[in-house]
Structure 1
């Protein structure tokens, strides 16, 4: 569904504008060329299945704690940690279900890996309990290890950002 949607948007652009889209993103969207209406509908329907499954799996809990991602940060120059446009989302395995279920979530720093890259703690609440999620996040930040070091300061000058998609 998402690929087909983006492919439709890209197709509506002037050819010169299409060329400004990151090749990884364009290749991912173009892989939807030829999908049938039935295929796209089935994909869209999975969103509702994910929503129902996530809510059913978590309804007994005030909140769910998990890693934010199954890996730490990947280089900013990469569009995805897989570097494969046909498998672009290995980094969203712990967040996607809650995006689809419309449950509020927050990610707070909770440590660093051996290379000093940050690790996030995801706090997910029941639907519409945004205030509860923020309260748990604030409480966690108040009691977490004093060894949490501050975020590094950004460099004085940053390289220009490369847009993923220009309209």
Structure 2
């Protein structure tokens, strides 16, 4: 339940609490971004998800990380991402989820090939190009779509 609270309930509550500020940011930047384009420069929620939350890829990834609580909580975060994207698109607020890669952290372990710096730099690069087509999607750190 602690994993679910962290990965689903926390992002849900934060999105609802920040909605007034996100709306203000989206409205305040409307002149700079004509055509109702959603972007991180305007107003966005970027959820950190994972490749192992993909139901389509489960058979490929399960043996590597059979972590039920983590996988299912991130799959729920993906649904939250889709729901928020639908709900917030009328306000031109981008909502997407990004897989940071396998990163050397306490969770990722010492065998992970990516440093936190490399992961963050690649995600920030992807975020700078996000637009309407990416809202409600799960992307990897290169911007490729990961199937649900």
Smaller-chain TM-score bracket? under 0.3
Give the helix-richer structure, 1 or 2: 2
Give the strand-richer structure, 1 or 2: 1
Larger radius of gyration: 1
Using the size of structure 1 for normalisation, the TM-score is 0.25
Using the size of structure 2 for normalisation, the TM-score is 0.27
Higher relative contact order (CA 8 A, sep 6+): 2
